[in-house]
């Protein structure tokens, strides 16, 4: 009897595990998250060609002054324009160019 309970427990754990994995994969593909996943096997050849864009970082330890605030507001306005100019429901919204990924340059 004790062995049967353990066997049933193992089977239920496996069913739950596979069920949750199936739900996760379904969400992954329904939400188009797979389009931004550079670890996908189809990007294996392109990974070496991807170059990160240099962006000016703001020091977390620096003083907050008007110049810094103006810089942040200016950048946020530009990002807002870049984002709002794209049709988010278009398939091209997740393209490499839109996401700022430079391939082979």
Residue among 53, 32, 51 at smallest CA distance from 95? 32
- Provide the domain count of the chain: 1
The helix or strand, by DSSP H or E, that contains position 51, with its residue range, turns out to be: strand 50-51
Instruction: Read off the pLDDT band of 18 (50, 70, 90).
Output: very high
Instruction: State residue 11's pLDDT score.
Output: 96
Residue 44 lies inside a defined structural domain of this protein: no
Residue 30 lies inside a defined structural domain of this protein: no
pLDDT in tens, 74-103: 888 887 877 666 566 666 666 777 677 777
> Regarding predicted confidence, which is higher, 52 or 14?
14
Find how far residue 102's CA is from the centre of its chain. Answer: 16
Phi-psi region of 32 (alpha: psi -120 to 50; beta: other; left: phi over 0): left
pLDDT in tens, 2-13: 779 999 999 999
**Domain range enclosing 68:** 54-105
CA dist list (Å): 58 to 13, 53, 74, 83: 47, 16, 13, 21
Instruction: State residue 23's pLDDT score.
Output: 95
């Amino acid at each position: 009897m004790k062995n049967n309970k353990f066997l049933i427990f193992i089977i239920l754990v496996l069913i739950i595990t596979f069920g949750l994995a199936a739900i996760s994969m379904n969400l992954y593909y329904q939400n188009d998250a797979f389009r931004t996943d550079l670890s996908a096997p189809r990007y294996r050849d392109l990974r070496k060609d991807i170059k990160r864009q240099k962006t000016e970082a703001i020091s977390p330890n620096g003083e907050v002054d008007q110049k810094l605030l103006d810089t942040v507001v200016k950048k946020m306005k530009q990002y807002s324009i870049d984002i709002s100019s794209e049709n988010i429901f278009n398939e091209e919204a997740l393209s490499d160019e839109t996401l700022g990924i430079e391939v082979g340059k």
